[in-house]
């Protein structure tokens, strides 16, 4: 079994792999070992999208880590005693630009001194009217314990979550069906769209509209009993 490793202290992973039958390689890996926590898993997916991740715990926050010790996880994977879980991702599209996120898609004001005005549409139906605030967070269940939770003080396990970020009028967060099409139309900009805090971004001006929906690609995670 050929793997690459993402995370700090890769020497510790090398030690765990001794005698297991798993080889660390630089090219053509079959799996990715994510050694850390939730943030490392997000980074692993960004660097190696679509490749199955073996998540090993080296952090206090790791929702997808097994309760088993890391060495036992690796032994079971090497013996083929595992299942694969798929996590859906989100896609934001504007013109020919596309961003993909495992955690969340965020539409935010460019200048923190000035709020943006925007309209939120779900399946082409307007909800909440015109909103004035810092923007909106659209999250997956995996990402619902990140920025979404800091705004709403809640999380969810099914669907797509929408959190209104620092809006001037109280706006309840939404949990929508997984197949929903979400559009954010900027009534007063400028605004920026980004995914999982990566450097790539989409800039929006007044009148622009970004579409957010479930992505075709998924993240694959190894699970062991």
pLDDT at 23: 93
Give the burial string for 141-150 (b: 16+ CB within 10 Å, else e).
bbbbbbbbbe
pLDDT at 170: 80
Residue 128, classed as helix, strand or coil, is strand
- Mind listing the pLDDT tens digit for each residue in 79-88? 999 999 999 9
pLDDT at 161: 98
Which sequence spans correspond to the domains of the chain? 2-81, 89-216
Residue whose tokens read 């998540």: 55
Average pLDDT over residues 102-109: 98
CA angle 96, 192, 135 (to 5 degrees): 125
Under CATH, domain 2-81 is a member of which superfamily? Probable inorganic polyphosphate/atp-NAD kinase; domain 1 (3.40.50.10330)
How far CA 175 is from CA of 116, 137, 158, 180, 224, in Å, comes to 22, 12, 8, 10, 29
The answer on pLDDT for 156 being more than 90 is yes
* Confidence tier at 124 by pLDDT (50, 70, 90): very high
The answer on pLDDT for 117 being more than 90 is yes
pLDDT at 210: 98
The CATH architecture that domain 89-216 belongs to is: Sandwich (2.60)
Q: What is the mean pLDDT of the chain?
A: 95
- Mind listing the pLDDT tens digit for each residue in 41-79? 999 999 999 999 999 999 888 999 999 999 999 999 999
pLDDT at 152: 95
């Amino acid at each position: 079994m050929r793997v690459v490793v993402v995370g700090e202290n890769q020497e510790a992973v090398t030690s765990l792999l001794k005698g297991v039958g798993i080889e660390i390689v630089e090219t053509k890996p079959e799996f990715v070992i994510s050694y850390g926590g939730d943030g490392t898993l997000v980074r692993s997916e960004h660097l190696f999208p679509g490749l199955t991740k073996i998540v090993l715990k080296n952090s206090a926050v790791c929702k997808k880590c097994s309760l088993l010790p890391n060495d036992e996880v690796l032994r079971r994977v090497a013996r083929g005693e595992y299942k694969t879980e798929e996590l859906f991702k989100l896609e934001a599209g504007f013109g020919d630009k596309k961003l993909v996120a495992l955690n969340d898609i965020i539409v935010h004001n460019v200048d923190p001194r000035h709020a943006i005005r925007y309209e939120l549409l779900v399946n082409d139906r307007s909800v909440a009217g015109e909103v004035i605030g810092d923007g909106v967070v659209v999250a997956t269940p995996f990402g619902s314990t990140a920025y979404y939770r800091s705004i709403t003080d809640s999380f969810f396990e099914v669907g797509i979550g929408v959190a209104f970020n620092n809006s001037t009028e109280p706006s309840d967060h939404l949990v929508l069906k997984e197949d929903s099409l979400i559009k954010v139309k900027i009534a007063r900009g400028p605004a920026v769209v980004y995914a999982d805090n990566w450097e790539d971004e989409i800039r929006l001006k007044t009148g622009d509209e970004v579409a957010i929906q479930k992505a075709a690609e998924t993240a694959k995670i190894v699970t062991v009993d």
